């Protein structure tokens, strides 16, 4: 999922096609799960889509905000590190506190299984933003799977590739985001939203109410 470029979902067959090509030509298939990991589910986007890469990288939600990243993969590739054929050196490797944070995060995610709720809250927020924008005649596109999604001011019905991200009104997005920030809702500057396991229905309602105020102000200016 191209989270940093409009939250573009892979088209049907794309990931399987990549898997097949990489297997055929002996190429390592690597999934960047830095954003999708522990957000789409405990098994990341690869479990969600049912495609297994050779290597993947995880970070961000893995340790609930503690600075940690991880590279994981099939034994065939990871054993190269074990055999010291590939160097995996880093000052912060195996930092106890961040690894403890990741273990605690995974434990809570396993116990609480918040994923259905995160998808549902995400969809609720996406729909609320869409309806509010429509009410004030703003052409706001909201797209993504739910636990993460993107907003863009554009006439397009969908952002399908990187090129489409250029046909969006970044100035209008900037005004919306600044308005939200002023009223205490923090959104990432490029229009990306995340739902976390800690979010509640009240948070969603507050975000929609605030978006309503900001979109109204934008209409009047």
Please, what is the minimum distance in Å from the beta carbon of residue 132 to ligand PLP?
Answer: 27
Please, what is the minimum distance in Å from the beta carbon of residue 38 to ligand PLP?
Answer: 13
Please, what is the minimum distance in Å from the beta carbon of residue 208 to ligand PLP?
Answer: 26
CB neighbours (10 Å) of residue 198? Answer: 9
Q: Which is nearer to ligand PLP, 61 or 125 (by Cβ)?
A: 61
Q: Which is nearer to ligand PLP, 153 or 194 (by Cβ)?
A: 194
8 Å CB contact between 23 and 48: no
Q: Which is nearer to ligand PLP, 44 or 122 (by Cβ)?
A: 44
Q: Helix 201-220 vs helix 115-135: angle between axes, to the nearest 10 degrees?
A: 20
Q: For 152, what's the count of Cα atoms within 13 Å in the CB-facing half-sphere?
A: 24
Please give the residue whose beta carbon sits closest to ligand PLP in the complex. Answer: 34
Q: Which is nearer to ligand PLP, 18 or 59 (by Cβ)?
A: 59
Query: Which parts of this chain interact with ligand PLP (CB under 6 A)?
Result: 3-4, 32, 34-35, 59, 69
CB neighbours (10 Å) of residue 121? Answer: 21
Please, what is the minimum distance in Å from the beta carbon of residue 60 to ligand PLP?
Answer: 7
Q: Which is nearer to ligand PLP, 15 or 204 (by Cβ)?
A: 15
Please, what is the minimum distance in Å from the beta carbon of residue 69 to ligand PLP?
Answer: 6
Q: 112 CB contacts (<8 Å, ≥6 apart)?
A: 197
8 Å CB contact between 7 and 147: no
Angle at alpha carbon of residue 194, lines to 29 and 180, rounded to 5°: 140
In the numeric block, the tokens 């090129």 are attached to: 163
Please, what is the minimum distance in Å from the beta carbon of residue 134 to ligand PLP?
Answer: 30
Q: Which is nearer to ligand PLP, 33 or 204 (by Cβ)?
A: 33
Distance CA 38, CA 155 (A): 32
**Which of helix, strand or coil describes residue 58?**
strand
């Amino acid at each position: 999922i191209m989270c940093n470029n409009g939250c573009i979902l892979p088209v049907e067959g794309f990931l399987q096609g990549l898997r097949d090509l990489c297997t055929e030509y002996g190429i390592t298939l690597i999934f960047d799960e830095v954003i999708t990991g522990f957000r789409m589910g405990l098994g990341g986007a690869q479990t969600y889509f049912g495609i297994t890469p050779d290597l993947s990288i995880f970070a961000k939600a893995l340790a609930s905000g503690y600075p940690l990243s991880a590279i994981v993969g099939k034994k065939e590739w990871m054993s190269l590190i074990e055999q010291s054929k590939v160097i995996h050196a880093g000052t912060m490797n195996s930092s106890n506190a961040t690894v403890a944070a990741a273990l605690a995060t995974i434990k809570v995610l396993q116990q609480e299984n918040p994923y259905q709720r995160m998808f549902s809250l995400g969809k609720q927020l996406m729909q609320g933003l869409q309806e509010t924008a429509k009410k004030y005649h703003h052409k706001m596109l909201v797209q993504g799977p739910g636990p993460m999604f993107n907003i863009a001011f554009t006439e397009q019905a969908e952002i399908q590739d990187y090129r489409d991200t250029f046909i969006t009104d970044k100035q209008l997005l900037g005004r919306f985001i600044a308005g939200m920030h002023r009223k205490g809702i923090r959104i990432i500057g490029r229009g990306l939203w995340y739902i976390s396991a800690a979010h509640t229905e009240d948070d969603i309602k507050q975000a929609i109410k605030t978006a309503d105020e900001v979109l109204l102000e934008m209409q009047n200016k």
